[in-house]
Structure 1
């Protein structure tokens, strides 16, 4: 139970939130809430990777190339089970067949940089029964509360140097998941507390998250495993649970580890698996399908060309043709090796495309083009 002082603090924060809501309402401003496509990040250089090495020996080079290919496959697919597929194991043994070029880079450490062949890597992922996650990835804000042995709770933010936060960031970078942690500055402290995050008061958390303009929110809690749940079969002494909110979508899960510092990376793994399963595009059909997409607000030919290039970059899109352009709107005919609904999910994350009317009676999709400043 919360003590009277905690209850009073909670009420005071609620009054502050209501006050700012009133100010915002009076000024005619619209509060930002996390939504798909609001702040999606386009990842670059997905087919490149760097591995730290100790020398330029052939044996270490071979091992580093294999590690780089594994990491590239994971970043492209978000599929944790892909590395166990026999075709992937065979590819790792013949990793040089997938390499376009490689070289060594020296700063404080020695690195092996490698560029993989995009078409061959894509074919490998598809042949292994998985799919490719678009380069457009949702950006997530992670609210994290950690409980210690004395049941004291602490919220960790962007400036935290805790090992679990470092591992969380490293895992997110390795999997191509754009994340950030809250600043936990005066603005945050006025609107959200450790109690709010621990209890998952989502109205309060969502309000506090609006300033960060992310696509979604992750709320994670780490704590000691209940002693009654620690067994020889499950000896992990630390537990965690998480929830993910993106628009109207909801996911949740739990993790356990022997070392508390491992929990952050495990949450990233589970969150990525869920997101990639939704947005991953696989070649589900050997027969090419046609899909027509109309994009309006293309007031310049350069914008129409940029839209065509964006569509061409989508996974499983084998060909794009502009069939009509009238100075305002363009119609494109796409040839796909996947369900159009899967392509549309990837398009919904684009900053430059906004769905305006779902699909027409003929199944065509209609989008509005958003110029980037």
Structure 2
């Protein structure tokens, strides 16, 4: 048991060594700087690999802005990820050089993508995705780890032991802090172990904001278990447990659970209107070819989940459109594509071009 835990700490130290080496090598080279930028590992600089990288980068940005781990599975997102290059404002490549766990040098290529903020914001609004507002809070993570010799608090001096959670939080678009870990705070590990979130909150009064991610990670059979609680201003928002053979993965799930709890409470959907079915009239339908062209366009439009014909005249058709957000989102996407043009007035009428 002791050897296994020592192996975990050694792996954490090696990971920290690799990260430090990579930072020294990178220097002032290109790197993602804000929420609308992303870094993606790629196998080369060819166009196909680059476009795949754009899609992965846009998915990462949407996940960060929305706070949702499953954003790529939301209606319409998949279609827009295939058009990711249209949202790119600029990109660079970075050649990374580091040291692997065995001490051998490692090399890799990173695509650094900068997306157009207005275009991404419009996409989020159009598809009715939630937005987790910024600036975001920095909860304090009170983490205790027991390798069989008794629980110990992870403070700033032991930050490498919590590195996977700190990194995962950054991937989710926020940051986690750690307590200083002085003697008085070390005593709080007892409250962590007995599940006394109120006592931990009192120990955390010196830190801001009044949010705590409380976790105890301990040996469980051949693996590790993490019991987690997220507290916001004295209120428990969420509790969960995870088990894995790798303690680092268990620790990372603390950051995911905290992000999920914060998103559920604070993320808001935009003003494009609620999802639902809307009757929309389309004019300029003068032949069966026009009808098929319009139906094909609507069927492939990211915001449209389903189309149902309602009635038709000699030159128009009314469709019931099941939209991922409201009519303003549909109008925004239609204006972008230029296949149909909105008529003036309050009634949703579009003319096929």
Structure 2, unpaired ranges of 5+: 1-32, 98-107, 275-324, 327-353
Deviation of the 1:209 alpha carbon: 1.5
Q: Secondary structure at the match of 1:262?
A: helix
Structure 1, unpaired ranges of 5+: 1-43, 228-235, 288-336, 339-373
Question: Is residue 276 from structure 1 mapped to residue 274 from structure 2 by the alignment?
Answer: no
Deviation of the 1:153 alpha carbon: 2.1
Q: Which has the larger radius of gyration?
A: 2
Match of residue 229 from structure 2: 243
Q: Is the CA contact 1:139–1:215 (under 8 Å) kept in the aligned structure 2?
A: no
C-alpha distance 128-264 of structure 1, shift in aligned 2 (>3 A): farther
TM score, norm. by length of structure 2 = 0.58
Q: Is the CA contact 2:197–2:214 (under 8 Å) kept in the aligned structure 1?
A: no
Match of residue 26 from structure 2: none
Residues 25-65 of structure 1: CA deviation (Å, up to 9, x unaligned)? xxxxxxxxxxxxxxxxxxx8211122344542333322322
1:121-160 paired onto structure 2 within 5 Å: 121-148=120-147, 150=148, 152-160=150-158
Distance 2:167 2:112 in 1: 18
Q: Is the CA contact 2:131–2:270 (under 8 Å) kept in the aligned structure 1?
A: no
Distance 1:193 1:242 in 2: 15
Q: Is the CA contact 2:193–2:216 (under 8 Å) kept in the aligned structure 1?
A: yes
TM score, norm. by length of structure 1 = 0.56
Match of residue 210 from structure 1: 205
Q: Secondary structure at the match of 2:152?
A: strand
Q: Name which of 189, 196, 204 aligns with 1:201.
A: 196
C-alpha distance 127-56 of structure 1, shift in aligned 2 (>3 A): same
1:68-79 paired onto structure 2 within 5 Å: 68-79=57-68
Residues 217-249 of structure 1: CA deviation (Å, up to 9, x unaligned)? 111112244x6xxxxxxxx94322211121143
